Structure 1
Amino acid sequence: MELSIVDLATVLPGETRHDALMHSIEVAQHVERLGFKRIWFAEHHGSASIAGRVPEVLIAAVAAKTSTIRVGSGSVLLNHYSPFKVAETFCTLNELHPGRIDLGAGRATTGPVNDFALQQDRSKQFRADSDQQVLELTAWLDNSFPDEHPFSKSPVHTDDSIPELHILGSSPWSASAAAHLGLRYVFAGFINQKGTKDILKSYREKFKPSKGQSGIKSPQVTLAVHVVCADTEDEARKQIGPVNIMYNNLSKGILDAKLPSPDEAIKELGGLPKVEKYVAGTGIPPKFIAGTPKQVHEQLTQLEKDLGVDEIIIQDMMTDHKARMRSYELMAKTFGLKYTFNQ
């Protein structure tokens, strides 16, 4: 099984945003040594608990501090930006680090204030045409605008290597867009658990091989899930306490609270949070997978089998940095990644 990481640059209790970004670099170096395939950086705006708001900057910093692991965005929110600028930015990153850069593109609201602030034209409420945005992005990467198109006069000038393009999402739209353009698809199973099986089936059924270098010839699926691995199940349950608090806050409309430590979270929750186990054959990932190496291995392996995914990318929002690094070590060992493991 191929395993990867998506990093949010979580701000830990008592630490600064600078500390969070330095942790991201340290995590990238750590998982590279452990044998993870790629590390991606998310885009979140206006959050007190997340420092990862500009994935392009973190990609540049991390790629310069690593040598083999693929580095990318998970995702850049294409609905807010010019596809031309996104293509130039990621092609430049790939020119600096040939063959190691991933362009994970998606769409999402960042809240009405942030969405409006990201717009250049603020004379009206604007909603990008997501299909057109993705189509234009692939044309820039492939230098494939028709001769009569005005954009054909200003190519991005990609050479023999371009960033690896992935479409990220949790909706039928994202699956359809990836399928019709012959692109790699990454599904956020921790967001739309019940829709996972049907949406991935739809992607495969509608897939059309790409004719450009930005696409692929056959369906390629990555499943994103929230995973914490620890030496004991109780320790893993403790480490998902802070993210449980975050979701509790979101349900109450509290959008900008900092995350607590695991001990503070357990105290606020009144005990260890319950852990849902994956039910084999359902194709419905649990919101959180948390447990021992054996428990995590059994659930991810069964998910891979049931959904036929090519890769699993792991998200977590742990607020104990040492426990997070340990989680990755345990997964590398139990999944047989190429790693250097210190007992």
Structure 2
Amino acid sequence: MLIGAGLVVLLALVAILVPRGDGFRPLDPASAGPTGARALSQVLERRGVQTDVVRSVEELRAARTDSGTTVLVTGPDVPERAVALLRERRDVHRLVLVTPSAPILDGLNLPATPVGRQGRLEAACEVGAVQPTDTLSAGSLVYRPTTSGVTTCFAAIDEDRPDDVAPAAYLEFGATGSHPDTVVFGQDQAFSNAHITRESHAAIALRLLGTETTRVLWYVPSPDEDDPAVEGDRPTAPEWILPALIITALTVLLLCLWRGRRLGPITVEPLPVVVPAGETTSARARLYRRAGDEQAVARILTDAATEEIRRRLRLPADADVARIAEAVHRATGEDRSEVSALLSTTVPDSLDAHARRLRRLRRKVRTS
């Protein structure tokens, strides 16, 4: 009992000390973790693009912007005051929204709505930062434009609504009086350290943030008690859920071990007698003879011979009888038509004669 209690205490300590991340929000350019974006930030700086990070509404309000600035907003959870500030920044070069939620799109007067996640997507178009051969990994959030005139790429086929505009993972909205030139991008993994090297993520991210601009204002929204964030698309679990699950699972395991000991040691019994393959084959043959199903036996013999000949002559799995007969002719000199007829026969006049001819053909191919 003392040993069990000690194990429970030890497991509780391990669960409490489980790492809970590096303290950064997803796609934070200062984070080197899997969900961070330090790799992209460093590449942009090496290319001469200045990266300024803001993490609060006050920092966003104080940040300067001009026609050479691209404003990047990461994540679907953005405080309402931040949405109002972004709506006022009409002098910037471009506004890039990564997986924005529907309330953010409405707050910025962007006519689109999120539809859902999609599998791997191919561009098949050339729009802005996207080339026709670009691809995105699975998990992209796609958006359906609610008005005409929206430029889209990485479209997803919607079989339920074929007549509507196809939802897409990349949308461009031209500058208007209510917003600057804006890009909605539904693949947040394209910026993360763990996934930026997959598919065409790196190329799209660099074209989107590193061309026609000299500065990126990188806004990483942070929770603000005085200004709750606009509801996004990703629910979050409390921090204690992982330790609680680990403790519960290990406690159940210890309980099973404790209860299992009351049943005594496991009894080991010898395995049944191993039946040789030859006896199994003979027994199966006797069953076919008793049933009198010569057609089934002929099909089995023909299929087995065809498979062996195909493998020995190194033919592809989809090779037909004519191709196999041609290969047998080249290897053994056998007549093509006779080989083709033999391997195509499933209802022979004499099962014994058919089996002998197949055996002879297999032997010739084996020794050729």
Give the TM-score taking structure 1 as reference length.
0.26
Q: Which has the larger radius of gyration?
A: 2
